[in-house]
Structure 1
């Protein structure tokens, strides 16, 4: 039985590895080419246009929930409105170029597109709700925020705050690659392994009829939202679990609620959000996430029932286009880069960039 679980886990890992590697490369490029000063200029103001812009700008950025906290607070204290700040805080961890690539590889094009659009819609809707609240009379706490390591993905405080980006393009690209393949990969590696093992166990042990009986409809989606909102599971690591859930009989709409609710917030995010924007804003924040993700899940299931599209048949089809040697090579590279002992000799080839260098 254990061998069967490991076999299924390896199969999912091989399918995902090339796309995750590609996604990390894209994440490094995004990090290098989109400095925080540009974000502050684009996210100023409030209203629908600014909120939508914040959601769409934040979506491709390679920041997890805890990594988005200091960036969002810096934007808010630099002049961004409450709505755009909320939209950025939701859209950024909800989906990124790395998680979008692995979603395409494991879940198929329909779920990948639906997940990306769902994260943006959730960010805009919730941002508009929070934007209707007003700042409390007292000044917000301007002390440095260090998210709780137990509630997020950050392993150390210095990784929670994105590093300062150098001025020259080669140095920025080097810093972006370091951020993607050291900081981001270090943050997600444990959760990614857990997600792959859970997916392997679900694919091996859970018959489709077991979860299919309760894996759809409003009660199941509400349960997914209740479970997903306070927990932390990064968008990339949540994807293989979603594969196992769909294979076990859970409806795609219910899985979409899990994919949207689990990565976009955590207990650490909730605490910081309440301290910065107040309790009324937190209530609307939670309400917007829960209502929007459930509505999107119901809409997806209804659309699939009407069109007859079977999401399960699309899962893993991207991996069939790639040769086995490429999958094994990508997985080997990721294992080396994610293991400090194995990647030690690479330190001379990819040293940590000096943020002050030009």
Structure 2
């Protein structure tokens, strides 16, 4: 990287930025659209039940959903936002946020092929186990209060009532059919008080509903656009101008600071886990210790500066700092165990 001419490096960085922005924009809108469709198909009380922090299975379900979704660190942001808006528990949602970029079928398959089954089991167990443990601790410590309510605010609930129940006495309701008095939709605020005037609820066909969900997804992306642009610029600069040769020098095998340094360096490098593993294999061949390699993979895949900029739109600083420290802890702990036993 260091021998590449400056102009060529600028061109490479610019192309990477355009590709990254297009990819994030497409994924953000698509995931937001799918989550919006899921919210309409799956009632909010079901989401709260399955992903509730009050029940242990909520954390397990969050970890399993994360393990089944092959998203990069930035792609988990719209999914996290949608689940929180649906009323999912803070702890289980954070479990998904931790687990999705670290443990998914693509990464596990590549890890198995590259490093073998034993190291893959250690990586998977540590990724899922510590994601659940850290999220549980954050939830028990009350970090949910650091969510930005203007972004995470719950959707306005709807309730259907009959016109006869609003205008007729209870004794005479049998003479007033629903055919004569169609259901009304009343918007309720968080306290259950009616908001605005009731309106007749008309069935929404597929095409208008799809257009509405798409516009909601696009508008949601627009609200994140400044954060996405800043994140893309940071990630592109790190991609084009952060050299990797000195990492071998300071994080080579036998260095005391190899594992924590690799974990720290991994965060600015916006690289997918599936891309990180071939890089890690090359670094191992150059003399980098296996523990530092594992820490680099977890640090690079588990968090990134572009992701942190996007999460700042949803979270306040205490959650962001706790998230970074947690990814660092997972990376260092797993790296130390890998170095000790492999």
Q: Name the TM-score, length of structure 1 as normaliser.
A: 0.54
Equivalent pairs, count: 224
In 1: Cα distance, 2:305 partner to 2:128 partner: 21
Q: 1:90 touches 1:264 (CA, 8 Å); kept in 2? A: yes
Q: 1:217 touches 1:254 (CA, 8 Å); kept in 2? A: no
Give CA-to-partner distance per residue, 1:203-231, whole Å, 9 cap, x none. xxx9xxx7598335651111111111233
Are 2:280 and 1:272 equivalent residues in the alignment?
Answer: no
Match of 1:139 among 133, 149, 155: 149
In 2: Cα distance, 1:248 partner to 1:148 partner: 35
Please name the residue that 1:45 is paired with: 52
Matches within 5 A, 1:316-327: none
Please name the residue that 2:287 is paired with: 249
The farther-off stretch of 212-221 and 128-137 is 212-221
Computed over aligned residues only, the root mean square deviation of the Cα atoms, in angstroms, reads 3.6
Evaluate the alpha carbon distance shift between residue 301 and residue 42 of structure 1 in structure 2; reply closer, same or farther with a 3 A threshold: farther
Q: 1:46 touches 1:84 (CA, 8 Å); kept in 2? A: yes
In 1: Cα distance, 2:284 partner to 2:49 partner: 38
Evaluate the alpha carbon distance shift between residue 61 and residue 152 of structure 1 in structure 2; reply closer, same or farther with a 3 A threshold: farther
In 1: Cα distance, 2:50 partner to 2:128 partner: 15
Q: 2:51 touches 2:93 (CA, 8 Å); kept in 1? A: no
Evaluate the alpha carbon distance shift between residue 274 and residue 138 of structure 1 in structure 2; reply closer, same or farther with a 3 A threshold: closer
Please name the residue that 1:344 is paired with: none
SS at match of 1:141: helix
In 2: Cα distance, 1:224 partner to 1:237 partner: 16
**Shift of residue 95, structure 1, vs aligned partner:** 2.4
In 2: Cα distance, 1:216 partner to 1:80 partner: 44
The farther-off stretch of 94-103 and 269-278 is 269-278
Give CA-to-partner distance per residue, 1:68-119, whole Å, 9 cap, x none. 1101110011111222221111211112212222222222222332332232
Match of 2:70 among 58, 62, 74: 62
Q: 2:59 touches 2:132 (CA, 8 Å); kept in 1? A: yes
In 2: Cα distance, 1:150 partner to 1:107 partner: 35
Please name the residue that 2:126 is paired with: 118
Q: 1:66 touches 1:152 (CA, 8 Å); kept in 2? A: no
**Shift of residue 301, structure 1, vs aligned partner:** 1.4
In 2: Cα distance, 1:136 partner to 1:249 partner: 42
Q: Which has the higher strand share?
A: 2
Q: Which has the higher contact order (CA 8 A, sep 6+)?
A: 1
Q: 1:43 touches 1:84 (CA, 8 Å); kept in 2? A: no
Are 2:341 and 1:303 equivalent residues in the alignment?
Answer: yes
